[in-house]
Structure 1
Amino acid sequence: MKVQRLFLVAIFCLSYTQLVKGETLPNCPEKCGNVTLEYPFGSSPGCWRAEDPTFNLSCTNEKLFYKGVEVVEISHSSQLRLLFPASYVCYNSNGHLANGTYYYMDLGNLTISDNNTVTALGCNSYAFVSSNGTRRQSVGCISACDDLSHEANGECNGEGCCQNPVPAGNNWFIVRSYRFDNDTSVQPIFKSQCIYAFLVENGKFKYNASEIYSYLQNRNVGFGFPVVLDWSIKGETCGQLGEKKCGVNGICSNSASGIGYKCKCKGGYHGNPYLRNGCQDINECTTNTIHKHNCSRSSICENTLGHFRCNCRSGYELNTTTNACQPKGTPGYVEWTRIVLGFFPPPHPKH
């Protein structure tokens, strides 16, 4: 029998780009190592939202933690990204259970995002995640190895690896791995291997059977995978609060996972909507490629609060369809012809 091996490539992509400077309360740390802190989270006394200890993080040796689990990103879109370890069971050369562990966590007012999957890695095994919150749920998958030759294609399709989506909204979960056969039916190559079960963010795990990568050997220590959690301000709704709990130019929306609310900046603003003046005007007239104006080359962009406008020099007027300047009284079809052919009036002179 041709020896087949399981190979693992975990694509963490942990260098998440922060688009804006960390926004915290005055005199509070803005970073812990490479992670940018954002209120209502904080790592020092008086720096997190006092009404909810969920937002109390700890910074140790330049790493950020929530209940002992490493945090790698806090986003304005009400999500938290952490590194969760894997549950596992390991077997000796006779196929008997040697050691293992399972992982569980109470997330407080955080909830599991539906941007995650439960994954099982290993032959003739299954994994499941049980969660509790808005309702009790269990989700799992089965990984078989009936024909090891199928495992070499590197797809996580049930041959040595399986995945299943995880529902959102629960704040307590447990992940466990099991083998469903006895030691006599285990293929020799797998007798001294471990089987794993873990949550992982969608797109951040790739199963590959190529010998370019080091194969997964016996180990009795966990290893982390990025997992996305949702967060909101619990206990009140927008109907009870109006907009008063969000900062200036912030918008309140109710949480989809229980009683709570989230804030976001109005269109044309960016920043931290949980701070009083955290939402700042976006200057669309700069070279910012993310929030760029759509004025034509013949018009001049002028930034306004929450928006922008396209201005024309004296004697010209704006065609609101093309955002281009044309001589006053020019029919629209003439301006379209100029744009197609690349003719523009001279730009507004700088003063």
Structure 2
Amino acid sequence: MSLISLFLLPWLLPSSSSTFIDPGALFGCSEWENVFYPFGIRSEHSTLHEPYSGFDLYCNSSTNSSLKVLIGGSLIDVVEISLKGGYLSVLVDHAIRFGSCSRTSDRTPKGNLLDLRGTPYAFHTRNKFTVLGCDAMATVRDPLNGDILSGCVAFCVSYADKQRGQSHCSGVGCCQDVFPPRHQYATVELHSIRNLTKSMELRTNLSEGCNEAFLMDGNESSYADPSIKRPIVLDWSIGNKSCKDVPSPICGPNASCYNSSDGLGYRCKCNDGYEGNPYLDLQFAEIDQCKYHEHNCSWKCQSKGGRYHCACPPGTKGDGKKDGVGCTRDTYIEIGLGTGLALLVILLTIGFWFFCELKKRKQRKLKLKNFLQNGGLLLRQYVSENQFFARIFTIEELERATDNFNEKNVVGRGGYGTVYRGTLLPDGEVVAIKKSKFVDETQIEQFINEVVILSKITHRNVVKLLGCCLETHVPLLVYEFISNGTLSQHLHEQKRPTSGRLSWETRLRIAAETARALAFLHCKAASVPVVHRDVKSANILLDENCTAKVSDFGASRLIPMNQTHVTTLVQGTIGYLDPEYFQTSQLTEKSDVYSFGVVLLELLTTEKPLSFSRVGTVRNMASHFLECMEEKDSRVGVLEFLDRQLVWEARTALPVLAVAQLARRCLNWNGEDRPTMTEVAIELSALRRLAMQSEEWRDRRSSMSPRRLDAVDESMLNEEDRLLL
């Protein structure tokens, strides 16, 4: 086959066809006769010149092997080529593995994705970064600056979970994340979550198989078999510059240049009215006779079949020529059009009215169905018995309050849902509306019971539940609006909601207020103890006076009076999660105590609980803190660990060390050795009172003359004053 015939063949194909093979099977060389330029086939019998570096395809016609492309010094099987979509699908095996199948003892294996540097290819956004395994966390990093490009975590409680995770990728046994555009190279790190949380031993039923991280086509679902090669999608483009940076793009005469959305360079496309390969110097477009030839049409000239004819405006008739009959009015057509238009307007009006009525009826049925499924009858029973002290909202009220849940009203996103800022009409009350991502239909009765209990809780340090809406697929909860952001924002973000950093006195007060709120939830003040299960700085809101407000009870659970714990699926935030709860799945009140201990460390260090920018055990702040406390001179080690600015503000290290010792007791691995939240709240309140009295005594002492200070009657001093003297 000649070179010209090879380039002309794609023009004979429909322009919408850009896929050559079934992605489920590799074709031999004989099936790859038609290849779009700038791609070209090279074999031992072909001397096709290289149009552009990296677009040569290789084929051994003697063995009729599959078509391959040369990337990174290796020939890789080609599955699909798309000219219109601008992508290339290939088969690769670049998985990073460890576990019982690993050949190395390294607990954090590292590897590289397919190296595309020096080629016209980049990773397509259709790819998904996938992790298979149990308790595995993988991240993809940019090797130049170390930024995390993608990553996810796969959890398992048992080996059966790992087997179930092979049928669908939902986070149990398998997880996936999107991959950003315009990247040609990246490194992969695969971690063991149990190693990060310092688990004492790995369960034997989880050690079967191995953990695996890889990149694959997001349209594929064959990720469960680790022995096969997986397809990935590559974006191809010309060069690595945009259209405006290239003096003369290689596009054909009736084509235009456009920048690749996922790649690094540009591609070509045919102009409107033309079709074919935009990279070739050929054109098969019809010539516009009206544009290039003189005509005598009085209104409009139209080209058709290589000829032209004159058209008349609607409502007129004739030949449309200036030197002929021209165009004259057609009264019959005008009468028919007027009558038809009137009937059409009447029919459309009636049809639109019927459509609106049917839509309203369908919406009413759907709202009633959701209301019943979400436990509306049970909630009405509580209302009739005066056990529900909140308001039941309609979906229309909340849609008006949030401008139909406009994105501009989003004030927070979390693992359990999205929080919107809304203004209730007509009183103008500002509220926070939480829209959950999912709800367990088997736990509706427990959900309603928790909503009723939370509606009864009135505490100055707990965000007040104002009501709920059950007319949507997922129930909506309405809380009071706290305007000053979260504790996490104040501690870790550069642009904080308030000016300046939180002082030592403010941090100690926030810790004491949060402890009082959790102690209140754990006690029987709300008739049934409530375990928050997701205590973290992001769930502690601050008002304009920096008063702490515990929020987000989406993961909370009730513990019956006659039980010490409940067995649940492990939920929470890595870095705050109780290791005992993580291993046993038994949730107790002491799980909140551990998470609160991590919050205390955040207040003492102004550092995040888990950060991959730190190395070794320092990544996990709780583990690093416990190591410092176990040193011979633990006081020196802890002082090096804490925020020195806080020690300076406290004027002495004693109160800061006292809070650190309290955090150490809260972070005991054994829940029985941890204090209760009531004990924590009492101790923090005592430390805060002592700090306030010490500050008052220092101010009093500084105002006395030396002689007067010596004359102070010691019997007039309280216990804290004597300690200071």
The normalised TM-score by structure 1 is: 0.60
More helix by share: 2
2:113 is aligned, of 98, 104, 110, to: 104
* Structure 1 residues 91 and 143, CA gap change in structure 2 (3 angstroms): same
Q: Distance in 2 between matches of 1:33 and 1:185?
A: 56
Q: Distance in 1 between matches of 2:143 and 2:241?
A: 21
Q: Distance in 2 between matches of 1:64 and 1:328?
A: 65
More strand by share: 1
Counterpart in the other structure of 1:62: 65
Counterpart in the other structure of 1:87: 95
* Structure 1 residues 185 and 270, CA gap change in structure 2 (3 angstroms): farther
Q: Would the aligned equivalents of 2:130 and 2:213 in 1 still touch at CA under 8 Å? A: yes
2:134 is aligned, of 104, 108, 123, to: 123
Counterpart in the other structure of 1:273: 278
Deviations 1:70-119 (A, max 9, x none): 11122113211112224142544xxx734799553221221111121100
Q: Would the aligned equivalents of 2:92 and 2:231 in 1 still touch at CA under 8 Å? A: yes
Q: Distance in 2 between matches of 1:188 and 1:258?
A: 45
Deviations 1:274-300 (A, max 9, x none): 1112x6559xxxxxxxxxxxxxxxxxx
Q: Distance in 1 between matches of 2:169 and 2:215?
A: 14
Say whether 1:204 aligns with 2:220: yes
2:211 is aligned, of 187, 195, 201, to: 195
* Structure 1 residues 260 and 46, CA gap change in structure 2 (3 angstroms): farther
Q: Distance in 1 between matches of 2:284 and 2:191?
A: 51
Does the residue aligned with 1:199 lie in a helix, a strand or coil? strand
Deviations 1:249-297 (A, max 9, x none): 21112345686321011223333211112x6559xxxxxxxxxxxxxxx
Counterpart in the other structure of 1:210: none
Q: Would the aligned equivalents of 1:120 and 1:143 in 2 still touch at CA under 8 Å? A: yes
Q: Distance in 1 between matches of 2:98 and 2:230?
A: 19
- The 10-residue stretch of structure 1 (178-187 or 117-126) with the greater mean CA deviation from structure 2: 178-187
Aligned residue pairs, count: 272
* Structure 1 residues 235 and 128, CA gap change in structure 2 (3 angstroms): closer
Long gaps (5+) in structure 2: 1-13, 21-27, 287-302, 320-328, 346-725
* Structure 1 residues 81 and 159, CA gap change in structure 2 (3 angstroms): same
Q: Distance in 2 between matches of 1:21 and 1:163?
A: 28
Does the residue aligned with 2:59 lie in a helix, a strand or coil? strand
**One-letter amino acid of the structure 2 residue matched with residue 200 of structure 1:** M
Tell me which structure has the larger Cα radius of gyration: 2
**One-letter amino acid of the structure 1 residue matched with residue 88 of structure 2:** L
* Structure 1 residues 91 and 254, CA gap change in structure 2 (3 angstroms): closer
Say whether 1:260 aligns with 2:268: no
- The 10-residue stretch of structure 1 (117-126 or 60-69) with the greater mean CA deviation from structure 2: 60-69
1:38 is aligned, of 36, 39, 44, to: 36
Could you say what the CA RMSD is over the residues aligned between the two structures, in angstroms?
4.6
* Structure 1 residues 242 and 82, CA gap change in structure 2 (3 angstroms): same
* Structure 1 residues 271 and 178, CA gap change in structure 2 (3 angstroms): farther
Q: Distance in 1 between matches of 2:147 and 2:233?
A: 19
Report how far residue 168 of structure 1 moved: 0.5
Q: Would the aligned equivalents of 2:121 and 2:184 in 1 still touch at CA under 8 Å? A: yes
Long gaps (5+) in structure 1: 1-16, 24-30, 208-214, 283-300, 318-326, 341-351
* Structure 1 residues 242 and 267, CA gap change in structure 2 (3 angstroms): farther
Q: Distance in 1 between matches of 2:236 and 2:59?
A: 20
**One-letter amino acid of the structure 2 residue matched with residue 56 of structure 1:** D
| Residue identity (%) | 26
Does the residue aligned with 2:244 lie in a helix, a strand or coil? helix
Report how far residue 167 of structure 1 moved: 0.3
Report how far residue 169 of structure 1 moved: 0.1
Report how far residue 335 of structure 1 moved: 6.1
Q: Would the aligned equivalents of 1:252 and 1:263 in 2 still touch at CA under 8 Å? A: yes
